[in-house]
């Protein structure tokens, strides 16, 4: 008797899971959150790339003197896998 095939996709994110993750990220759009400025953006030197406490990526205007500091950033737009933001104040 043949054994049934094992579904190797168990634990893999489905398209529905991806949609849910994007919806969750979009819930933060418009909110002001604390961001750690990590590095100058590789594609646009006028932007700094930072991270939220949940490890989400945010790009916002700034310069290299901001790296290593915390800022309150308004998340202006969710681009799916990252946010575009603007600094509101130092954290």
pTM (2 d.p.): 0.74
> pLDDT per residue over 7-66, tens digit each?
555 555 566 655 655 566 668 899 999 999 999 999 999 999 999 999 999 999 999 999
58 in Cβ contact with 28 (< 8 Å): no
> pLDDT per residue over 53-74, tens digit each?
999 999 999 999 999 999 999 9
Rounded distance between C-alpha atoms, residue 65 and residue 76, angstroms: 22
Q: How far is CA 74 from the centre of its chain?
A: 13
């Amino acid at each position: 008797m043949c054994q049934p095939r094992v579904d190797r996709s168990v634990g893999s994110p489905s398209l529905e899971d991806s949609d849910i993750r994007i919806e969750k990220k979009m819930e933060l759009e418009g909110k002001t959150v604390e961001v750690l400025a990590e590095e100058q953006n590789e594609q646009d030197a006028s932007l700094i790339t930072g991270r939220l406490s949940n490890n989400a990526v945010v790009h916002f205007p700034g310069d290299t003197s901001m790296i290593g500091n915390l800022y309150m950033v308004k998340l202006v737009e969710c681009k799916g896998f990252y946010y575009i933001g603007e600094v509101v104040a130092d954290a």
